[in-house]
Amino acid sequence: MSADPRRERRQELHGYIAGLCLALILSAIPFAAVMTGALPRAGIVWTIAIAALCQVMVHFRLFLHIDLSRSHRDDLQLILFSLLIVVLMVGGTLWVLGNQRAMMG
């Protein structure tokens, strides 16, 4: 094996290890926030939400290798589209069912 692919492989491995560490840290933070109870309730919710978003970014960037480069533009578009649909479905459901609940109350 020549030097080049080996270096590439090592870089790839570094990327995965960094991803794993970040994923673990980002999982540990919300757990810690809940278990220690150091923050007020709203603070805990926001911490979990932000950690979850960062977690998604880490997975996309380091595990699925999605970035802003030209060759990954298709993947990025698909992810943005998925995001749109998820927002429509989840947001719409919350809106509709919440409204029905309010009408029944």
Partner 1 sequence: MIHFLFGELGYNALPFYSAIATVAASVVVLGAVVVVGSITWLRGWRALWSEWLTSVDHKRIGIMYVVVSFVMLARAVIEACVMRSQQAVAYDSPGFIPPEHFAQLFTTHGTIMIFFMAMPFLIGIYNFAMPLQLGARDVSFPVMNSISLGLTSAGAVLMMISLCLGKFSTGGWTGYPPYTELSFSPGVGVDYWIWALTLSSLGNTMTGINFAVTIYKKRAPGMTLFRMPLFCWTALCISILMIFAMPPLTVATLMLAMDRYLDMHFFTNALGGNMMNYVNMFWLFGHPEVYILILPAFGVYSETIATFSNKRLYGYTSLVWATVSIAVLSFTVWLHHFFTMGQDGSVNAVFGIATMLIAIPTGVKVYDWLLTMFRGRIRLSVPMLYASAFMILFVVGGATGVMLANPGFDYQVHNTLFLVAHFHNMLIPGLLFGMLSAYHYWFPKAFGFRLNEVWGRIIFACWTGGFLLAFMPLYIVGALGMPRRSQEFFEAVYQPYMYVALAGAALVFCALASMAIQLWTSIRNRDSLRVFAGDPWNGRTLEWSIAAPPPEYNFARIPKVDSVDAFYQAKQQRTAWRAPDEYFDIPLPANSPVGFLCCVSGGAFGFALTWHIWWAVVVSALVFFGSIVLRSFNRDTMRIVPSGEVQETEENWLLALSETPPVANEAMFTTANRGLVREPV
| Site for partner 1, rule CB under 8 A | 74, 81-82, 84-85, 88-89, 92-93, 95-97, 99-100, 102-104
Least distance from partner 1 to the Cβ atom of residue 52, Å: 20
Q: What one-character DSSP code corresponds to residue 59?
A: I
Report d(CA 44, CA 21) in Å as an integer.
22
Q: What angle do CA 16, 21, 23 make, to 5 degrees?
A: 90
CB-wise, 56 or 80, nearer to partner 1? 80
CB-wise, 28 or 78, nearer to partner 1? 78
